[in-house]
Every structure is written in structure tokens, then in C-alpha cells.
Structure 1
């Protein structure tokens, strides 16, 4: 299958929703789901995935149509943390819950009325396949990138496996897969082509403001104290968080980066990988976000013993 051209497809600005089974029982009986034997289960809900939160936002929202949907229909500018907490758990439950189809359709249906126009007057719709797949692709990238950077090095075969599992994951949403790459090699080509479409949207410039201006001090911390404490904290946050971003995101968001920062980031990432055996001795309830841990607890499988390289 040839990957549908993003620039052409996204301008259709029409949802492409697949038929939903007529009865809930039909949904629950579908075989399509991921499980404890998958690498996505092993790594997506790992607590270390939090290190990739800005990479997801920083790639998703550099595409104008997606960022405009967030700007027009989200409370991100008034309740940034709340918006993240409302968006993240349903997506994670699409992977880990006992009824992934219900959660997948719920995530999809959140987006039914998200539509509007971008700067050139062309329309967008969140359930346009090109746009919806791009949002999904950032999660696929996060699983591979964060695992390979902060948990353990993945083999090429493991990266390909995660990509193949991501196709099952995407099917759970019930949206056309016409724009989905069919191989991991195609996915990498697709990813690089999308990076070249990045623009400095209002949404992403707002979401990365703390990386340029520094973390705002809590009201309960005296300002003179915060000025001292924030210096090493901001340096650490900038190194670790900006380090996870593609250079194209750094460029459009005007985020400083240099070889010295890159070396510090690589040392931090290598240190995190050396700690992987320690993390795998933590209780599973500590090692996984709660929505992922619920899935492991339900299956009775101990994830710490799986896929450790």
C-alpha cells in the first residue's frame, strides 16, 4: 500500500469512521486486542514513559491542523495539566483495559466535532485519517524512542514488532487506516516527512514556554528562594526534556540546544539505562502507571520478568 499523501488527504477535512458492531457484545467478543505478550504492553505504560510527555506534545502540535484543533476546542491554555490527565488515561485504557474497543471508540468519539479552519482558510477535521493517524504515530514513536533511550536498547526486530503491534492498536479506534504505513521502514520515511512539515503553532509555542522562560515558582515558595533553587532545576529540565525533542521541534519552538547539552543528555540517558535492572526490581505497581498496572494485575502476569534484553 502506498502511504496516502498527507497534504492532499488532510485537506479533505472529512471524518472516515469505520462501521461499529451493532451490539456491545459484538465489540467485546472481537479478537482484535493487544496483550501481555506484546512489547507495547511491556513498555508503553512504564513510568519512565513520562520522560516522553513533551516529545509527544512537541511533535503532535507542530502540525498546524492538529494544533489548531487543540487551540479551538481544548482548555490547554487554561488547564494544561488537567487536559493531559483527561486525554492520557483513555488512550492507555485502549491498550490495557479488558474492553479496549469500547475505550478506543470513546477516544475516537471525543474527536467527532473537532473541526475548523487553519491559517490559509483550508478546513481540518480531527477524524480525517491523515490527521488522526499522525496523532497515533506520535505515541508509536514515543514507545520506541523512550524505551530505546531511557530503558534499554531495542533491536531492529523489536522496533519492527512494536510497529506491527501499533497497527492493531490503531485499529481499536475504528478510524480508516488509509494513511498508515505498512512496514517499519515506511513508518520511518513517513516520520521524517512529517518532521519537515513542522511549523511554530500557537499551541506548541505555549506548551514549551516553560523551557524558554523557566519553570514558574509555586506560590508557597518565596521568590528569593525560588530564584536560587530554580537554576539547577531548570538546567536539568531543559537538558532532559529538550533532549528528547527532534531538532525540528527545537527549531520551530526556538529552544536552545548545543553539543554540550547533547553530551549531558546522552550521559543522563545512559545512566537511566544502567538503572534498568534496579527498576525491574521495583514492585510492578510502582513501575507502571496505574492504568497499565490494572491490566497486568488482571492478567496475573509479572511484567518485570519479560523482555529485558
Structure 2
């Protein structure tokens, strides 16, 4: 059963605003975010209801690039839009007809799913919230508990822009951590959509449309192992285990060394002096220009 929240954008007494001074703005649109790989998309699809919706209704399998081009901009416009002018309800309305049967292990339906069920919709949002925290804490600077709490409280404003019931939304960051841990340990499954999203880790990326196969063959020799390293290293250990992704102690040490290098003062000093057009997505740039 879906629930749409009435007057959700105004219900902000327990939240913090988005804007140029917010940490969500500071980190979500950063182009260094690519360093975490497809973490949020993979984790989203480990909720059976969401993974099945992608399998049944999305072009994710047939044209991944096109699906990302269509999906990502409205989410950025929800974050970097103003309270009065953002794409939140547009994103919500994309999902009205994303529903169907949820199959059991033998293919027999065991229930129904709908993308706008509050628990399903909030999980998708939660992976973005956790993405911001994980990215910043891993590749930019070690966040304090107060900064993590701030990001979470700002994410409440973000979520309410969708106009979906926030009944499943935790009240505090500490409760969000408990929710996150429970979802990974008790609810997450290796759904086909999630397995597809990380299939290139062992198989390599297919040649993108419009790229000469010979050129891609040369590029893939470097691109594939780097992508596999960032993707696998950027997933929680529980997700790696469920998806059967190989990851050794040596790889983990190398990943942590790489992350520490990225967080180092010289790297951040150099990054902060690059033009805004290099550091941030075009959607973040528009938001900051508007103020």
C-alpha cells in the first residue's frame, strides 16, 4: 500500500535545511563520488522488492547508460533545487506504475511490490544518505559524529521533497545506523538485479555503444581492474559476501591505503584549488550559483 505525504516539505521541525551551507550539498555533487563505484545502486537492488521492480520495469539491463542518464538528473535536481522548486515529486511520480508480483525461490508469487511503498522507497533514499557519509568519511576526511548527524538531518529535508510518507524514516542518526545494519544483515538478498550490477567485476565491462571494439579492448585492460577494485572495495563486507565477490585481506589493505591517500592534506589542498566545474556536477554548480 502506497502512502503519499501531505504537506511533507513543510514538516521540517526535526530536520536541517539544504543549501550552500549544508554538508549534503558539499559532498553529494562532488565528482570524487565516482571513487565509491556503484555502491548505492547495488545496495538498492539488494532489497528484493526494489530489485524486482528494476528487473520488471527498468531498461537497466538493456541500456544501462540510458537508464542512468534518465534517473540521475532528477535526483540531483531534488537535492540542489530550492524548497519551492525541485524535482522531488517528479521523481516520485516516475514510480507510480512500478509494481508487480514478488516471486519466491521457485518463481511462485509470494506477495506484491510497489515502488512507492514507504519501506521500499525509503530504502532507496537511505542508500544515497549512506553514500554521502561513506564517500566523505572514506575519501575526503574522517567525519565527526556531529557531521554524520548533520548529514542525516539534512537528508530528512531531502527525503520529504519526494512527498512520500516518511513513516519508516529513523528519527536520529544513531537510529539510522541501526536501521542500516538491520537491513544489511536481515533483509538484503543477492537479487539478480544486484548481481547484474556487479557482474563486470569478474567478467569485465561490455563495450559501450559507439566505441570501437578494438579501442575498448585496449582501454578495458586498465579500466576493468580499476573498476572492479573500486566497486568491490566500496561495498560493505556483508554485501560482498552475499554477492560472492572475491576480496582478499591484501586487497582490503590496498583499498584502505588508497583511501588514506585520497584523504591526505596535499590531495585535498590540490583538489580544493581546482575550478568548480571540475570539482562538482553541473547540477551542484547551478545550485551554488543560485545560492
TM-score (norm. length: structure 2): 0.89
Return the offset for 1:147: 0.7
Q: How does 1:1-309 map to 2 (within 5 A)?
A: 14-19=1-6, 34-98=18-82, 102-120=86-104, 121=109, 122-196=111-185, 197-217=187-207, 220-222=212-214, 226=217, 230-274=220-264, 275-299=267-291
Three-state SS of the structure 1 residue aligned to 2:171 is coil
- How many angstroms does 1:101 deviate by? 5.2
- Report the alpha carbon displacement of residue 136 of structure 1 after superposing the two structures with TM: 0.4
Runs of 4+ in structure 1 deviating by more than 6 angstroms, as ranges, are none
Q: Residues 167-195 of structure 1, C-alpha deviation per residue, up to 9 Å, x if partnerless?
A: 11111111111111111111001000110
SS in 2 for 1:118: strand
Gaps of 5+ in 2: none
State whether residues 105 and 173 of structure 1, in contact with CA within 8 Å, keep that contact through their aligned partners in structure 2: yes
Measure the CA separation in 2 of the matches of 1:154 and 1:100. 30
CA-CA distance at 1:232 after TM superposition: 4.2
| Cα RMSD (Å) | 2.0
Q: How many Å separate the matches in 1 of 2:103 and 2:85? A: 35
Cα displacement (A) at 1:102? 4.3
Q: Please give the alpha-carbon distance, in whole angstroms, between the structure 2 residues aligned to 1:102 and 1:235.
A: 38
Aligned residues: 277
Gaps of 5+ in 1: 1-13, 22-26, 300-309
8 Å contact from structure 1 (residues 149, 273) kept in 2: yes
Task: Supply the distance in 1 between the matched residues of 2:81 and 2:143 (Cα, whole angstroms).
Answer: 26
Asked if 1 retains the 8 angstrom alpha-carbon contact of 2:137 and 2:143, the reply is: yes
Residues 180 and 264 of structure 1: CA distance in aligned 2, closer, same or farther (over 3 Å): same
Shift of 1:243: 0.5
Against the structure 1 CA distance between its residues 127 and 100, is the aligned structure 2 distance closer, same or farther, given a 3 Å change threshold? farther
